[in-house]
């Protein structure tokens, strides 16, 4: 087992001591990555320092063939979820001109919908390939190479900045949040979502949890660490939720399946519609067995998983952290 080691000595959020908490397998490279957890704010950090090589962990298979990441039915559901994101933005109730920057806009489905309603829309992406379809939709998208931050290329101000499952990918979430704060109008709103590393589904087995996904996920947030970081970067948290129909229920079902199915996250790979993993030969030989076991267990575990996730949400331990935050006008709020 090839593992990436680390010299991480302290928490990037609060500076407290960290301990080795989990080891996560990358399905593309076949490598294993250590994750160190904070003893105080429960934040996690993937041990990764070879930033010049980060691009190799985002192979073409990660984005999916023919610009599709999942089988057709799941693509339809994903598009509907992007429409729901647009409704969340509209419900922010801004009393200023509607303008939005979507940090990590992907294929631009959400921005396309808001643009049709008269919003001034822009997006960022880290690769040209990811931004191509959004530009075809008429969305202005800023890209840079992986060594630079696309936020640093933007000069306009926005009433809203969104970051859907982006902050966990970046080298320095703190840098991104400071840049986002500078791009927001006075009392502008930030709407972001990240996986909840300290969710019940995440704690079932952090080493194989579908949303751990090292090394693409560098930072692993808890509710405590995310709130702390936002406040350090000049934001006031207005609302925080751990409920997500887009990610939460599936994540719990997949976590329960991982307890019984030999191949980790096998349901997810089936929904991807391809054999994309750099699996050990033993796992490749067990592909059909894992598929059969998944089909047998999917119905009962789906029922149990939905109930379990609803309970988790009621306890504030659902699979995601969705935050609405407001830019502080007081510069002295920064620490």
Q: Note whether residue 102 is domain-resident.
A: yes
pTM of the model: 0.89
Q: What percent of the chain has a predicted confidence (pLDDT) above 70? A: 85
Instruction: Please give the pLDDT value at position 145.
Output: 65
Total domains in the fold of the chain: 1
For the stretch 264-284, pLDDT in tens is 999 998 888 754 554 544 456
Q: Which of 98, 242, 234, 220 is nearest to 179 (CA)?
A: 234
Q: Is the pLDDT higher at 173 or at 155?
A: 173
Radius of gyration of the chain (CA): 19
- Residue 134 CA to residue 115 CA, distance in Å, equals 12
Q: Note whether residue 263 is domain-resident.
A: no
- Tokens representing residue 71 in the block: 């089988």
Q: At what angle do helices 173-183 and 223-232 cross, to 10 degrees?
A: 50
Q: Note whether residue 138 is domain-resident.
A: yes
Q: Note whether residue 3 is domain-resident.
A: no
Q: Note whether residue 61 is domain-resident.
A: no
Q: Note whether residue 179 is domain-resident.
A: yes
- Residue 146 CA to residue 150 CA, distance in Å, equals 9
Q: Is the pLDDT higher at 99 or at 71?
A: 99
Kindly indicate the confidence band of residue 146, based on its pLDDT and cuts at 50, 70 and 90.
low
For the stretch 112-137, pLDDT in tens is 999 998 899 999 987 777 788 888 88
What own/partner pairs with CB < 8 Å and gap ≥ 24 does 149-156 have? Answer: 149/175, 149/176, 149/179, 150/103, 150/124, 150/125, 150/126, 151/103, 151/124, 151/176, 151/179, 151/180, 151/183, 152/179, 154/101, 154/122, 154/124, 154/183, 156/99, 156/101, 156/122, 156/183
Per-residue pLDDT averaged across 211-227, rounded?
A: 96
H-helix or E-strand containing 183?
A: helix 173-183
Instruction: Please give the pLDDT value at position 205.
Output: 82
CATH code for position 124: 3.40.50.150
- Residue 268 CA to residue 281 CA, distance in Å, equals 19
Q: Note whether residue 142 is domain-resident.
A: yes
H-helix or E-strand containing 130?
A: helix 128-136
For the stretch 2-58, pLDDT in tens is 444 455 779 999 999 999 999 999 988 889 999 999 999 999 999 998 888 888 898
- Residue 48 CA to residue 64 CA, distance in Å, equals 24
96-100, 204-208, 249-253, 302-306: the lowest-pLDDT one: 96-100
- Could you check whether the bond before residue 215 is cis, i.e. omega within 30 degrees of 0? yes
Residue 99 pLDDT exceeds 70: yes
Q: Note whether residue 159 is domain-resident.
A: yes
138-147, 215-224, 227-236, 309-318: the lowest-pLDDT one: 138-147
Per-residue pLDDT averaged across 188-212, rounded?
A: 94
For the stretch 60-95, pLDDT in tens is 777 765 555 656 666 666 667 777 888 888 888 665
Residue 179: give the domain boundaries.
70-196+219-243+321-333
Instruction: Please give the pLDDT value at position 313.
Output: 97
Per-residue pLDDT averaged across 151-173, rounded?
A: 93
Scan for tokens 């992406």, then name that residue: 125
Instruction: Please give the pLDDT value at position 2.
Output: 43
Q: How confident is the prediction for the chain on average, in pLDDT? A: 86
């Amino acid at each position: 087992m090839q593992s990436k080691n680390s010299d991480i000595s302290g928490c990037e959020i609060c500076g407290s001591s960290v301990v080795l908490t989990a080891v996560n397998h990358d399905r593309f490279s076949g490598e294993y990555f250590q994750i160190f957890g904070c003893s105080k704010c429960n934040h996690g950090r993937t041990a990764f320092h070879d930033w010049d090589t980060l691009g190799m962990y985002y192979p073409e298979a990660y984005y999916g063939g023919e610009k599709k990441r999942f089988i057709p039915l799941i693509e339809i559901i994903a598009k509907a979820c992007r429409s729901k994101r647009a409704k969340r933005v509209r419900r922010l109730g801004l009393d200023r001109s509607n303008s939005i920057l979507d940090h990590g806009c992907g294929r631009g489905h959400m921005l396309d919908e808001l643009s049709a309603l008269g919003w001034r829309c822009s997006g960022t992406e880290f690769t040209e390939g990811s931004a191509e379809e959004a530009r075809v939709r008429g969305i202005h998208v800023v890209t840079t190479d992986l060594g630079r931050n696309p936020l640093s290329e933007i000069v306009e101000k926005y009433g809203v900045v969104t970051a859907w499952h982006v902050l966990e990918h970046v080298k320095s979430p703190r840098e991104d949040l400071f840049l986002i704060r500078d791009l927001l109008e006075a009392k502008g709103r930030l709407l972001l979502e990240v996986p909840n590393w300290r969710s019940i589904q995440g704690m079932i087995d952090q080493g194989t949890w579908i949303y751990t996904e090292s090394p693409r996920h560098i930072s692993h947030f808890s509710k405590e660490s995310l709130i702390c970081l936002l406040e350090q970067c000049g934001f006031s948290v207005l609302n925080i939720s751990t409920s997500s129909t887009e990610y939460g229920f599936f994540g719990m079902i997949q976590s329960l399946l991982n307890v019984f199915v030999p191949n980790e996250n096998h349901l997810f790979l089936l929904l991807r519609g391809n054999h994309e993993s750099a699996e050990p030969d033993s796992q490749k030989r067990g592909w059909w067995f894992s598929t059969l076991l998944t089909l047998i267990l999917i119905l009962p575990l789906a029922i149990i998983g939905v109930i379990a996730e609803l309970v988790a949400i009621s306890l504030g331990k659902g699979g995601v952290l969705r935050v609405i935050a407001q830019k502080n006008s007081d510069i002295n709020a920064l620490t």
